[in-house]
Structure 1
Amino acid sequence: MAKSPCLRGSEGALREIQINLLECKVCFEKFNLQQRERRPQNLSCGHVLCLECIAALSHPLLRKLECPFCRQLCNIDSTSPCQVLVDLQELLSTTSSTGIHSATGLTSTSLTSTALQLCTVFGGWGTLFNPTGIAILGVSGTIVVVHDGKKRVVVFSPRGRKLHSFGPKGRAVGEICYPVDVAVTPCGHVVVTDAGDQAVKVFTSRGNHVLTVKDFFLMPWGVDTDSCGNILVSDAQAGKLFQVKVDYTRGLILNHVPAISDLQNPKTVACHQVTGNAAVLEHLHDDKYPPSTHQRTRLKVFSKDFHLLYQADSFSLTLQSTVRLNMSGVAFDGDGGIVVVDSNKGIIWSLGNVLRGLDPSPLVGDHLLRPTGLVSIKNTLAVLDSGDHTVKIYSAKSDPWPIK
């Protein structure tokens, strides 16, 4: 039998099949014909769930459930086995030992040996719509997400329970037009970059408007804060990194300066709370090559005084590590090491402390579709996955938030 084109195709094809087709998108367990509760079943709307999730979501008397993806009401008596997915799973399992992870440039042991495991998933379509930014509110582990919903900012408990939301769509005071990123200050204020209104907007944790910083930006994008509460904002169009000092009590701008002015399309910004070092991810324009999903990016790390400490682009990192890294997001871990997001492959990488030498290793490689942002606390990662509109908590411990 001739090999399927997907098995010989691009490096991400097998991974996309494994994640998008062969897992139940509610419980994230792999479909399995040998386990009755894991058998894939067709709903009348066309979506596929495992039997266990159908039983859990359906009304015991009405024998109906609302599809978690399209919200159509489906009769569970009209479901049918999805044999084609089981056949596809068996076909892939009998292919060459290169496997899914080899197709992405990884050995299978490199991912299975990672310390972080999926602990909690929450959000999903209907709760989050095209989420773009994530932050942690204080040591309690409360999670703040910005998205394209009716109220742009959603606050979750560490266990994923929706606490409240604020910031209706608009340009008026207290409204948010098009949020891109979010950060939380040490004193608990929520800072949102609003590219649609060319502004940075500051709220209390309960959603009360404090301040709007405007008339300085062309396209504010990434945002983070340092240990003093100073706001770092990347302007993707102006090619600058701004530092904004704010009096949160009085709602006043104390100072506003372009800390770095020679960046190329800077987007993600991260600040380490202890050292004050800042990491910026640039998206480089290269006229020599046509646009592709593997856009060149460059990581720059600056001291708290904004002196350049380290830089490397995606190509040079690939040469150093022998693994193709497509950086699309960046964060610091608790020890000051660099963590990067590869949204194309659905992998989170640790680069280690780049000032002491590059040491790339995969942290998370399972259950991610298109990660767009992350925050790190101790041995825990909170990853924002725009592929299925969820927040996914990965930890080395059974407790998803090993902090008190």
Structure 2
Amino acid sequence: MAVNRGPGRRGSLSPEGILREAQINLLECKVCFEKFCSQQRERRPRNLSCGHVLCLECITALSHPLLRKLECPFCRQLCSVDSTSHCQVICDLQELLLSWSPRSSAPRRRVSGGFKSPAGLTSSALHLHAAFGGWGTLINPTGIAVLGSSGTIVVVHDGEKRVVVFSPQGKLLNSFGRRGQASGELWYPVDVAVTPCGYVVVTDAGDKAVKIFTSRGNHMLTVRDSFQVPWGVGTDGDGHLLVTDIQAGALFHVKVDYTRGVVLEHRTAISELQQPKAVACCPVTGNTAVMEHVTNHTPPPVRQQHTRLKVFSKDFHLLHQTDTFSLTLQSTVRLNMSGVVFDADGDVLVTDCDQGMVWSLGKLQNGPVLTPLVRDHLIRPVGLVTLDNMLIILDSGEHAVKIYSDKSDTGSTTKLVCEQA
């Protein structure tokens, strides 16, 4: 039986960590993200001849109705439906792990050496509401953005067409930005942002440029000035671009006239940063958050990298900062922050790509108040956006987009099928 694990994932040695790893990596179908269930015919786990395991419903959906063959979505081997077999080991494991399951898996807030149930959006358990994508639809995705209040989701990944656009329901609406270095092509896209007027902005680290497209995918402008390796991108309230450059160690502020397709201003807003990657702008205050990846200058194998979050005012003066070490003192786990976003109240939210979690750090005026928001059904979250009381998370470990809501009555995870545009 083959297990499809996310890249770079480090499992926990605690019983709770082992249980969580098994539930995510073994007990759900990696195509539809539904849990296997031997009592429901369509949810029964089936072995393909290549060794991968899918639920019966996905095997039926992916197979040719006459030839009764399908291409494995993970290894691309051609498999016969008639040669599949029931995966009894998963059913046995499921029964075994259910007897170990804790009574409550809701995230809890650490206070004065203990935990208590939090209240409010940024201090309550968020529940997986929907998931879509999966290997083939998305390949090693790295950046995510939302197009206005419509909820249209834009993702950059390593596919032949580098930018993929989904409806809020997971339908594939459009894809553009072919692989390459010509005008309108993308070589190594890292992050994506959407301006208030609907333009799609992509950082292309391979071509050392920022490329701007219309919402329909038409290339409008390429910005190269001063960039060495552009990485993260965001927009401020005026639609101006915030671009980090990991090699230059800087945050650039770029003003663009989108109507004429010209750059009005390109300046260094913040310098002397250490490998800055993710960037986000607060819709409430206009503050800017930047995630640094700092390497300790000690000889290998002692050398380690940790993350540091800095928050700057609207005019780019440093207001707050926190790092992996100080956050570890609060949570007793070593956070590896990757993505960052502000919610509608101005609280800072970060993804933890090692623990497979999303945390709220609060507003940081009096130091971070660490609150776990999501810790279920995530492998390697690398980016997130907020929309209408929901978190939309990009999980590179599952090559998927996952939507979390604070509503506890959503029932089982919605199965969304991506249809070709």
Q: CA deviation at 1:27?
A: 3.0
Higher relative contact order (CA 8 A, sep 6+): 2
Match of 1:142 in 2: 152
Match of 1:185 in 2: 195
Cα deviation code 1:271-330 (max 9, x no counterpart): 112321110110011133756998410010111111111101011012134443221221
Match of 1:76 in 2: 81
Structure 1, unpaired ranges of 5+: 1-5
More moved, 64-73 vs 376-385: 64-73
More moved, 59-68 vs 80-89: 59-68
d(CA) in 2 for partners of 1:263, 1:133: 21
Task: Check if 1:88 corresponds to 2:93.
Answer: yes
Match of 1:382 in 2: 392
Query: Quick one: structure 1 residues 150 and 94, their matched pair in 2 at CA, closer, same or farther if it must change by over 3 Å?
Result: same
Normalising to structure 2: TM-score of the pair?
A: 0.84
Q: 1:246 aligns with which of 246, 256, 261?
A: 256
Structure 2, unpaired ranges of 5+: 1-10, 415-421
d(CA) in 1 for partners of 2:404, 2:245: 30
Q: CA deviation at 1:151?
A: 1.4
Q: Secondary structure at the match of 1:128?
A: coil
Q: CA deviation at 1:338?
A: 0.6
Match of 1:282 in 2: 292
Task: Check if 1:27 corresponds to 2:53.
Answer: no
Q: Is the 8 A contact 1:12 1:345 kept in 2?
A: no
Match of 1:335 in 2: 345
d(CA) in 2 for partners of 1:274, 1:107: 30
Q: Secondary structure at the match of 2:58?
A: helix
Q: Secondary structure at the match of 2:327?
A: helix
Q: 1:229 aligns with which of 239, 248, 255?
A: 239
Q: Is the 8 A contact 2:295 2:303 kept in 1?
A: no
Which letter does structure 2 place at the counterpart of 1:25? K
More moved, 72-81 vs 163-172: 72-81
Which letter does structure 1 place at the counterpart of 2:29? C
Q: Is the 8 A contact 1:294 1:326 kept in 2?
A: no
More moved, 64-73 vs 168-177: 64-73
More moved, 82-91 vs 136-145: 82-91
Match of 1:205 in 2: 215
d(CA) in 2 for partners of 1:53, 1:148: 24
Cα deviation code 1:168-208 (max 9, x no counterpart): 12222111111000001111111110100111111111112
Which letter does structure 1 place at the counterpart of 2:27? L
Q: Secondary structure at the match of 2:295?
A: coil
Q: 2:364 aligns with which of 354, 369, 392?
A: 354
Q: Secondary structure at the match of 1:318?
A: helix
Q: CA deviation at 1:57?
A: 4.2
Which letter does structure 2 place at the counterpart of 1:187? C
Match of 2:418 in 1: none
d(CA) in 2 for partners of 1:292, 1:379: 42
Root mean square deviation, CA, Å? 3.1
Pairing of 1:2-401 with structure 2 (within 5 A): 8=13, 14-58=19-63, 62-93=67-98, 114-288=124-298, 290=300, 295-397=305-407, 398=410
Q: Secondary structure at the match of 2:93?
A: helix
What is the percentage of aligned positions where both structures have the same residue?
Answer: 68
Query: Quick one: structure 1 residues 7 and 115, their matched pair in 2 at CA, closer, same or farther if it must change by over 3 Å?
Result: closer
Q: Is the 8 A contact 2:33 2:131 kept in 1?
A: no
Which letter does structure 2 place at the counterpart of 1:379? N
Q: CA deviation at 1:361?
A: 1.8
Q: Is the 8 A contact 2:278 2:339 kept in 1?
A: yes
Q: Is the 8 A contact 1:295 1:326 kept in 2?
A: no
Query: Quick one: structure 1 residues 54 and 150, their matched pair in 2 at CA, closer, same or farther if it must change by over 3 Å?
Result: closer
d(CA) in 2 for partners of 1:76, 1:54: 7
Q: Is the 8 A contact 2:138 2:400 kept in 1?
A: yes
More moved, 9-18 vs 193-202: 9-18
Q: CA deviation at 1:340?
A: 0.5
Q: Is the 8 A contact 2:146 2:152 kept in 1?
A: yes
